Amino acid sequence: MKLHYGLDDLKDIDFMAILPIILVGTILVLIAFIDLYRYRKTREHIRIWVMIILFVNTLGPILYFAIGRKDREKFETRD
C-alpha cells in the first residue's frame, strides 16, 4: 500500500474532468460575495455568511442563496 504520493503521480489526474466543478464552485462563491456586498446594509450576520461561503465550498453559496437572502426580507419588513 502506497501512503505517499509524489509529484510524478499528478500526471495521472484528469484535470479536465475536475475543471467544471472548480469553475462552478468559484462562480457560485463570487456571485454570493457580490450579492452579500450589494445588500450588506440589509443583511444580518455578514461575517458568519462570509465564513460559510468561503469554508463550506460549493454548499456555502447555495446555503447563502437559500437561507441568507431571507435576512433581507425580514429587514425590509421591520422598516
Q: Going residue by residue through the chain (79 aa), what tens digit of pLDDT does each one get?
A: 666 777 777 787 788 888 998 898 889 899 999 998 998 888 778 898 889 888 887 788 888 888 877 665 555 555 5
Give the torsion sign (CA, 21, 24, 27, 31): negative
User: Residue 6: its pLDDT value, please?
Assistant: 77
User: Residue 30: its pLDDT value, please?
Assistant: 92
Distance CA 76, CA 69 (A): 12
